[in-house]
Structure 1
Amino acid sequence: MAAERIFSWREDDTQRGGKPPSLTDKAYRRIRENIVERSLEPGHDFTEAELAKNLEMSKTPVREALGRLQMEGFVQAIPRRGYMVTPLHMSSIRDLFAFRALVDGEAAALAARKISTEQSDELKALLEASEQSAPRARPDATEIARMILIDNAFHEIIAIASRNERLHRCIVGVLREFERFYHIEASHPEFYGSDFVGHTDVYAAIAAGDPETARVTMHAHLESSRQVLIKGITEGGAEEGAQSAWL
């Protein structure tokens, strides 16, 4: 059975019908967007009542949404105080990138042997879409959301091409965590140097059919992203209070 796609990036895919989202789903998406876009900064604390008021929603869907976000690691419950947006310190960033190198590297190696023509063609289409959505000086939230979707779809297709469903599910979860970083990276396109190893390099390695080259290239791509993120945090002009939540 084919793996279920999570990140649909084409308009004809994203506009397909389905059951309408519940109030909890709506609350979850709005809170998560605020965290990803850093309207709610790492380390920011709040109460359920405050958040419900800001969202103009009742407490029940907000409480249920916060439960989901807590399980995903986006927020932490603080006894007798409320919640906090989970801080991400340098040690956490290091651990996340190390873990992602393991799973994405393995997916790339497997995809080099198993990718289908259809999947390869979709990766090429995503490369073209990436060119159209390349980071420019201070892209707005809509542009960044589009870049995130394209990036997620690219890595998910590789995960699906590995033909390992557990690996696919794991990579989808890690991609969702990494969305918190993307706004920092994309907001500083000057940090993308000529030596950045990007999706084009990853695709070429997979298309060549060499598993170890694909694995090494994926590792190099993730290391390039890590370096851009660290520059964004340390040199990107973040406010002192916000920056301390990352460091």
Structure 2
Amino acid sequence: MESNTEKKSLSDIAYSQIKNMLLEFELHPGSAVTEIMFMQKFGISRTPVRQALQRLEQEGFMRLTPRKGWFVAGVSLRDIQEIFVVREALEGIAARLAAELLPQEVLDGLNLYMEKISSQEQTKDIDEVDPGDILHEKIFEAVNNQQMNRVLRLYNDQLRRFHIMASKLPGRALLSYKEHYEILRALTERNGEKAEKAMREHINSSKRSILDAVVNESYGKWFECQP
């Protein structure tokens, strides 16, 4: 018989694996899933699988329909709009603060990193490169605002799903590189106002790309078009 500790551990494993399948679109929004399919895939019992699915339901990734079973939750266009309102405000403020708080050695390292990516343009399609994650990470490390980080962490996984879609649009990665370069340049100049403006423009550009991805026929069927 499994102990409570073992059940929790198996539940965490199932949660992580199912969530990764969701974020990588191995499980498409709107598709039906069963506890049995995950039991067989992961080689574990029903209880930890059910616990994992219930946890994902609380996070908005799964939906349990009476007498029909589990479904991968669709993505609401309203969700995208609302999340990006929050993201633009918080990340804009973070960029402004980081212009004063980022250590010089971190800025130097980021500039070297961006230059290295740029130098690869002759030998590698820069559309495959998006340096955004590390820049955003360093900004929030420098600001060190736990409440701000907590709020954005709630949206992080949903945003990851959206960005996977947007990144497949032709030219999006190159545009993202240019936008992040502008943010970094403002940070290097220690210009908080300019850094906030560049970050807000980047966030809005990212939102537009995601909405463009939504209207793409291959993604549109996965979205819940609520107002």
TM-score where L is the length of structure 1 = 0.73
Equivalent position to 1:135, from 108, 127, 136? 127
Change (3 A) 1:206 1:79: farther
Equivalent position to 2:29, from 33, 42, 61? 42
Which digits, 9 at most, give the CA deviation of each residue in 1:100-130, with x for residues without a partner?
Answer: 1111111111111211124324433553576
Q: Does 1:208 align with 2:184?
A: no
CA distance in 1, matches of 2:62, 2:116: 32
CA distance in 2, matches of 1:169, 1:127: 28
Equivalent position to 1:64, from 16, 27, 51? 51
Equivalent position to 1:124, from 111, 127, 136? 111
List runs of 5+ in structure 2 lacking aligned partners.
1-7
TM-score where L is the length of structure 2 = 0.78
Equivalent position to 1:25, from 12, 18, 28? 12
Change (3 A) 1:246 1:238: farther
CA distance in 2, matches of 1:124, 1:175: 25
List runs of 5+ in structure 1 lacking aligned partners.
1-20, 137-142
Q: Does 1:155 align with 2:143?
A: no
Which digits, 9 at most, give the CA deviation of each residue in 1:140-180, with x for residues without a partner?
Answer: xxx9xxx6xx6433312211211312212323332222111
The number of residue pairs the alignment matches comes to 214
- Structure 1 stretch displaced more, 207-216 or 123-132: 123-132
Which digits, 9 at most, give the CA deviation of each residue in 1:58-96, with x for residues without a partner?
Answer: 222222322332333222333443333222121111111
What residue number does 1:16 align with? none
Change (3 A) 1:129 1:189: farther
The Cα RMSD (Å) is 3.0
CA distance in 2, matches of 1:173, 1:122: 29
Change (3 A) 1:152 1:52: farther
Radius of gyration: which is bigger?
A: 2
What residue number does 1:189 align with? 170
CA drift at 1:222: 0.8
CA distance in 1, matches of 2:116, 2:19: 25
